[in-house]
Structure 1
């Protein structure tokens, strides 16, 4: 799953100014899934917006308050509600008076395998942004771009003044994102990727990993990577007797940190469900196989 990007070690709790309007503070929550940690972005110079406030960790909240330095916070925006992105929104709002704005709360309604533990059940936005809606402050304008796939409520935010896009977990600067059913949806993810390919953003600021200075090339490459994975899956399923997901993961993700294999299995399942909806594969007793033409 990991792509070959080189990323320098980044200090946590320090405001790094990336452009005239964009600052970044890294949260101290590194892991096999968050890489060096969640990157919280501060937008503006006098009146601020905060994108992806991150986990509710006291030292991270203290670092954000230091970086804000008493400046007014107009909006605290969340790209989605995984627990490494949104839990700090409420305490930061209480500390700064900023309103929580951005993605919708996420409620999973199905009875199948669920990933509730990964979501922030306490997220309560003051305002939900829909696709194309804008919010502005002194010197900046942010526009919401609906990008479902990683999660159904995922938003990216475009900074119009700098032609920049904050991509959350839809595109990361170190790895492909996990698409985990039932909420994660591969068909939605690919449609969202196509939207980004058709845009002219000059830079991506992901929530994990380095900024991306060749955004369309990366987006096209990630779409190609997913199509390659789909082809691998179909080839596996052409073998007599079909295949189970763990066996496919073992073959397809050789060399990948074994801690990521369960997440890889979820993305394989997302591909399989997409292929099933298109009439390409079927599942019987835990084994998947291609459908005869």
Structure 2
């Protein structure tokens, strides 16, 4: 998706609701939208910093200015990609606040990435389990385990207002990226279903992109989109696709059962019109679906060839 026209509110303090302030980091990209949004929750009597963002001097200075004389109760991270957690350590050093939230995680892979690499410096003082909370006068943030985008991903629910800080699990500008081996499509769909059942939630504040003011509608749409992709993969594997995207199969070819397809066969058909430079990235999403379908006994593979069962 194209980035919106500048100027962006990089470094400014925005206040979407009384208990919540937002500061945008200067790390815009095709995968981070206009940048990582760090949230300050609470008041001068006690603040939580959610997703401190990249270890960028300009961003850290903007956060410290926004914090002012307020006491930092916790620096909280939804997950440990390098656009989310590296600023936690310098911010903790500057304020004395503990780092609280997801567990540490580093995955090594040679596959092309759609997302940021993992933060090797992340060292939390306290890891939150599902349902555990951090609080200060006037607010409580409760952890919601939402694995899928990463296995250590958490969302944080602000109990007083019905807001949920969704990190990269749900975003208003794009669907979440699921990159194997740590990204898991099955877990992601289960986590989406869990959020859909939380009828008390009124707004999502993602780490990238605008607030989601109709959260249940978006989650339902995202679940539908992912299920449609799975059905598309199953149909293509059952019927085969042309060896070259855009060509027609003969009658005899169409009558033959599929002997299996590679991810490289599937991507051009599934993502018609997508810039070919993005095909490897799209292939990772297809792979995440295939691995989930394999685990559920819908497809099998031999080497790089995938087939329906």
Q: TM-score range by the shorter chain?
A: over 0.9
Deviation at 1:107, TM superposition (A): 4.0
Higher mean displacement: 240-249 or 89-98: 240-249
Alignment of 1:107-118 (within 5 A): 107-108=106-107, 118=117
Aligned twin of 2:14 = 16
Gap change, CA 1:7 and 1:186, over 3 Å in 2? farther
Instruction: Determine whether 1:137 maps to 2:136.
Output: yes
Deviation at 1:284, TM superposition (A): 1.6
Instruction: Determine whether 1:269 maps to 2:287.
Output: yes
Instruction: Determine whether 1:26 maps to 2:24.
Output: yes
Give the total of aligned pairs.
288
Aligned twin of 1:211 = 211
Higher mean displacement: 42-51 or 232-241: 232-241
Aligned twin of 2:183 = 184
Gap change, CA 1:31 and 1:215, over 3 Å in 2? same
Give the conservation status (yes or no) of the 8 Å contact 2:3–2:33.
no
Name the SS of the counterpart of 1:44 in structure 2. strand
Aligned twin of 2:153 = 154
Alignment of 1:1-293 (within 5 A): 10-46=8-44, 47-108=46-107, 118-200=117-199, 201-238=201-238, 239=240, 240-256=258-274, 260-291=278-309
Name the SS of the counterpart of 2:264 in structure 1. helix
Structure of larger gyration radius: 2
Deviation at 1:261, TM superposition (A): 3.4
Deviation at 1:256, TM superposition (A): 4.0
Give the conservation status (yes or no) of the 8 Å contact 1:5–1:174.
no
Give the conservation status (yes or no) of the 8 Å contact 1:53–1:76.
yes
Q: Return the alpha-carbon distance in structure 2 between the equivalents of residues 207 and 7 of structure 1.
A: 19
Q: Return the alpha-carbon distance in structure 1 between the equivalents of residues 230 and 30 of structure 2.
A: 24
Q: Return the alpha-carbon distance in structure 1 between the equivalents of residues 142 and 218 of structure 2.
A: 21
Q: Return the alpha-carbon distance in structure 2 between the equivalents of residues 275 and 284 of structure 1.
A: 14
Higher mean displacement: 263-272 or 119-128: 263-272
The CA deviation string for residues 138-172 of structure 1, in whole angstroms up to 9 with x for no partner, is 21100000000000000000000111100000001
Gap change, CA 1:131 and 1:270, over 3 Å in 2? same
User: TM-score, normalization: structure 1?
Assistant: 0.92
Larger RCO (alpha carbons 8 Å, 6+ apart): 1
- What stretches of structure 1 of length at least 5 have no aligned partner? none
The CA deviation string for residues 53-84 of structure 1, in whole angstroms up to 9 with x for no partner, is 00001101111111111211110000000000
- Give the superposed CA RMSD: 2.2
User: TM-score, normalization: structure 2?
Assistant: 0.88
Deviation at 1:173, TM superposition (A): 1.2
